[in-house]
């Protein structure tokens, strides 16, 4: 409902806007209760909105679902979308946005690294006219390794990608309803949401914040998952690696021609020592073999993605949606 539609009963009073939260949960049993409590504290401070909390249980195996059920039975604003298995963070966020019905949707992690209080600053930015308000890290309390790789990656991506992806911003952000609706038309399997959202345009505003440490448990982003997301970011938004192969090809062809000329000169003018070209032979075989393998790998990773996308399988399967009726608990 838009603010201009006057409700039948409200005699001139604009209806409350609803803010939805899309909350991915994977093995967060140690954080969830505290997280929800903090979130409720933050949202209670702003009673001018209605709230909806969409928790997506991404195949947790540590009792997170039971904790969510318990929270949901006490708070009818909670909706649980329970996945049939683990699909990964980006898909979990997607499902959260798909199942959110509010006028704005806030995506945030459930390990308290994204402070719930900051989400209200995103709401302020939205009220000032932003369609997308993304939280940008001023500082982050992660390991030096993660800090370094993240820093380097965001800058690399910015150079390669054909869209302007803001540096130091994760998925913690607010989306206006119209952005969320547009986003739900993007159904690619290899998703890098912050890139997709950046490429959509609209009015996007940064809200600086300090990223906290995890409240409990440990990161679910293994190095492997991080690398996969990093590769999705690059391949989803850039064909630079494919172009790099062409460039690499030109360089190796040029070097090969030099090598061929050298080999011929040796063979024709110094036939008695021509066998000494063995080193060159080994080097060129190994070098060309390596370059070809690498190039095949890059092409293969695009082909693999094309294959996955043409299969067009559903992004996720929901086992169950849990929501308690407000009247039951009232």
Least spacing, CB of residue 62 vs ligand UDP, in Å:
11
Least spacing, CB of residue 171 vs ligand UDP, in Å:
8
Rg (CA), the chain: 26
User: In terms of Cα–Cα distance, which of 196, 154, 192, 191 is closest to 175?
Assistant: 196
Pick from ligand UDP, Mg ion, none: which does 292 bind, CB < 5 to 8 A by kind?
none
Query: Which residues, 6 or more positions from 50, have their beta carbon under 8 angstroms from its beta carbon?
Result: 16, 17, 18, 19, 77, 102
Least spacing, CB of residue 120 vs ligand UDP, in Å:
19
Pick from Mg ion, ligand UDP, none: which does 284 bind, CB < 5 to 8 A by kind?
none
Least spacing, CB of residue 27 vs ligand UDP, in Å:
7
Least spacing, CB of residue 26 vs Mg ion, in Å:
10
Distance CA 299, CA 45 (A): 52
Least spacing, CB of residue 55 vs ligand UDP, in Å:
10
CB count within 10 Å of CB 2 equals 9
Pick from ligand UDP, Mg ion, none: which does 153 bind, CB < 5 to 8 A by kind?
none
Pick from ligand UDP, Mg ion, none: which does 110 bind, CB < 5 to 8 A by kind?
ligand UDP
Phi-psi region at 201: left, alpha or beta (left = phi > 0; alpha = psi -120 to 50): left
Residues that bind Mg ion (CB under 5 A): 109, 111, 113
Of the two residues 140 and 177, which places its CB atom closer to Mg ion in the complex?
A: 140
Pick from ligand UDP, Mg ion, none: which does 195 bind, CB < 5 to 8 A by kind?
none
Of the two residues 130 and 150, which places its CB atom closer to ligand UDP in the complex?
A: 150
Least spacing, CB of residue 177 vs ligand UDP, in Å:
23
Of the two residues 30 and 259, which places its CB atom closer to ligand UDP in the complex?
A: 30
Of the two residues 130 and 165, which places its CB atom closer to ligand UDP in the complex?
A: 165
Of the two residues 223 and 253, which places its CB atom closer to Mg ion in the complex?
A: 223
32 neighbors 64 (Cβ within 8 angstroms): yes
For residue 60 the two structure tokens come to 């947790």
Distance CA 291, CA 75 (A): 58
Of the two residues 130 and 229, which places its CB atom closer to ligand UDP in the complex?
A: 229
Residues that bind ligand UDP (CB under 6 A): 24-26, 28, 58, 86, 88-89, 92, 109-111, 113, 219-221
Q: Which residue stretches of the chain are H helix?
A: 32-44, 64-74, 89-99, 116-127, 144-160, 177-183, 193-199, 223-237, 240-269, 278-311, 326-329
Pick from ligand UDP, Mg ion, none: which does 26 bind, CB < 5 to 8 A by kind?
ligand UDP
Distances (CA, A) of 101 to 52, 106, 310: 8, 11, 29
Q: 49: helix, coil or strand?
A: strand
Distance CA 232, CA 225 (A): 10
Of the two residues 77 and 211, which places its CB atom closer to ligand UDP in the complex?
A: 211
For residue 6 the two structure tokens come to 């006057």
Strand partners, 169: 136
| Helix, strand, coil content of the chain in percent (nearest 5) | 50, 20, 30
Pick from ligand UDP, Mg ion, none: which does 295 bind, CB < 5 to 8 A by kind?
none
Pick from ligand UDP, Mg ion, none: which does 199 bind, CB < 5 to 8 A by kind?
none
Of the two residues 17 and 140, which places its CB atom closer to ligand UDP in the complex?
A: 140
Least spacing, CB of residue 174 vs Mg ion, in Å:
19
């Amino acid at each position: 409902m838009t603010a201009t539609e006057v409700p039948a009963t409200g005699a001139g009073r604009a209806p409350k806007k609803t803010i939805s939260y899309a909350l991915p949960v994977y093995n967060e049993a140690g954080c969830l209760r505290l997280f929800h409590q903090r979130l409720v504290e933050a949202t209670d401070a702003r009673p001018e909105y209605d709230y909806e909390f969409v928790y997506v249980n991404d195949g947790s195996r540590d009792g997170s679902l039971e904790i969510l059920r318990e929270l949901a039975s006490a708070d009818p604003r909670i909706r649980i979308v329970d996945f049939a298995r683990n699909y990964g963070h980006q898909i979990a966020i997607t499902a959260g946005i798909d199942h959110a019905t509010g006028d704005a949707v806030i995506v945030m992690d459930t390990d308290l690294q994204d402070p719930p209080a900051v989400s209200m600053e995103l709401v302020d930015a939205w009220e000032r006219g932003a369609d997308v308000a993304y939280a940008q890290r001023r500082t982050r309390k992660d390991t030096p390794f993660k800090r370094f790789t993240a820093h380097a990656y965001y800058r690399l991506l910015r150079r390669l990608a054909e869209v302007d992806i803001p540096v130091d911003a994760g998925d913690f952000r607010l989306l206006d309803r119209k952005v969320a609706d547009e986003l739900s038309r993007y159904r690619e399997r290899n998703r890098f949401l912050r890139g997709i959202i950046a490429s959509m345009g609209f009015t996007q505003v940064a809200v600086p914040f300090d990223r906290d440490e995890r409240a409990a448990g440990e990161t679910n982003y293994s190095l492997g998952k991080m690398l996969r997301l990093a590769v999705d970011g690059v391949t989803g938004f850039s064909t630079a690696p494919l172009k790099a192969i062409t460039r690499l090809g030109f360089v190796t062809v040029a070097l090969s021609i030099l090598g061929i000329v050298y080999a011929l000169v040796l063979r024709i003018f110094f036939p008695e020592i021509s066998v000494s070209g063995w080193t060159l032979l080994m080097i060129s075989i190994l070098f060309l073999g390596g370059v070809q393998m690498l190039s095949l790998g890059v092409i293969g990773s695009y082909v693999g993605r094309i294959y996955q996308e043409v299969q067009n399988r559903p992004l996720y399967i929901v086992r169950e949606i849990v929501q308690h009726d407000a009247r039951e608990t009232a």
